[in-house]
Amino acid sequence: MDEPTTDRATTSGDATQAPAGDEPAAGIAEGSDPASAAAPPSRRAALLRSGFILGVLAVVFLIIIPRFVDYSEVVDAFRDLTLSQVAVMTVLGVIAWVISGQLFTVLTPGLTVIRGAMSYLILSGIGSSVPFGPWNMGVVWVVVRGWGVGVQPATSGIALYGVLNQLGRLALPLVALVVLAITGELSGHAGTAAVISTISIVVFIVAVLLIAAIVRSDKVADWIGRTGQRVVSWILARLGREGGPDVSRSVHRFRDQLGEVIRRRGFLALLVAILAQLGWCVVLIAALRVVGVPEGTLPPADVLAVFALVSVITIIPISPGGAGVPELLYIAGLSSIAGSEYESLITAGVFLFRLYQWFLPIPIAWILLKVARQGRSILPTTAELRSYAKGEAS
């Protein structure tokens, strides 16, 4: 975090080619086509979002965390890292990047394993460094189109990436619940965390069942569309508002555009999305171990439980680009289990983990954009976006 029949994307059935006659993906709403999504935001929006990010970072790292953690101890933990430990972390980080990118590969015919990983790194790095809503998705769309993928498979693949990536995150509490039950540590997790986990598990199950029902049955799709429309109309009426979205049309557009790919590859894509999340959990566990947090203090099952909880909470974009908030949640959640005496080491471990998950993809993304867009401006122009949307560029 998905797409329609890819054979229709080209006249030859080869999804890696995008001939001049390739039409935009069917059903893409006017004003919400990929070119529009990739268009740069207004200067005012850019300044506001950038200012908000800097504010969040300042509050988290300069005010909140120093109240509980001595940064000098964090620095000491980093100084104690050996070259072999850094090498292990780097290998695990690269593996996590590659696994995360395979969701793109599964959903977009024509993408290789390497290009799937490149797509993920560009998406993550641009989203973190230029946090302007869906713009990073649009930039990835332009890159994928530049690799010769047709309009329809590129559009639907990226759209479904967002859906299945979120479903993968929602599934993590269920995975954590099973692991905690197997390890006998389930009784130690209760309260607010249990409530959030229960809600996410229910939402995950309901969402999967709804998607499966929509793509497999016209009658169910009609019923969900009508029911959803009545619910939305009732809510808007109570709020004194008129109009509102056409829910039924949206449900059928989703089915028509993405149903075939979900039927063919939905289960595999969801599995890959979950594995990608688990890969990052392994990186977090390794980071905690190399800085000196013992397994007896923070068992892998407990780390998974906290990781799953943070993944669910941060589905809602509290901070653009994911700046500051995840670090705070990881440190608070893990320290509550290990005890305050481990706060500095846990902070060092979380910072090391986020180095690979959040920070390093930023410079790598810009390098990859430069490589992928040789001979063009590093960011797409409006004219280029429009030509790709019309299938005129190759």
Task: Kindly state the average pLDDT of the residues 90-95.
Answer: 98
Give the tens place of pLDDT for each residue, 235-270.
777 777 777 778 778 777 777 777 788 888 999 999
- pLDDT of the residue at 133: 59
Tokens for 7?
């054979």
Task: Kindly state the average pLDDT of the residues 80-87.
Answer: 97
Split at pLDDT 50, 70, 90, the class of 4 is: very low
What is the number of residues in the chain?
394
Tokens for 391?
């299938």
Q: Which residue, chain included where needed, has tokens 């935009």?
A: 24
Chain centroid, CA 355 distance in Å: 17
- Which amino acid is located at 37 in the chain? A
The answer on pLDDT for 86 being more than 80 is yes
- pLDDT of the residue at 188: 62
Between 259 and 363, whose confidence is greater? Answer: 363
Of 63, 81, 76, residue with least CA distance to 344: 76
Statement: the pTM of the whole predicted model exceeds 0.85: no
- pLDDT of the residue at 9: 34
The answer on pLDDT for 25 being more than 60 is no
Split at pLDDT 50, 70, 90, the class of 32 is: very low
Split at pLDDT 50, 70, 90, the class of 45 is: low
Of 248, 261, 35, residue with least CA distance to 164: 261
Task: Kindly state the average pLDDT of the residues 181-208.
Answer: 79
Split at pLDDT 50, 70, 90, the class of 347 is: very high
The dihedral sign for the CA sequence 212, 215, 218, 222:
positive
- pLDDT of the residue at 18: 32
Q: Where exactly are the structural domains of the chain? A: 24-389
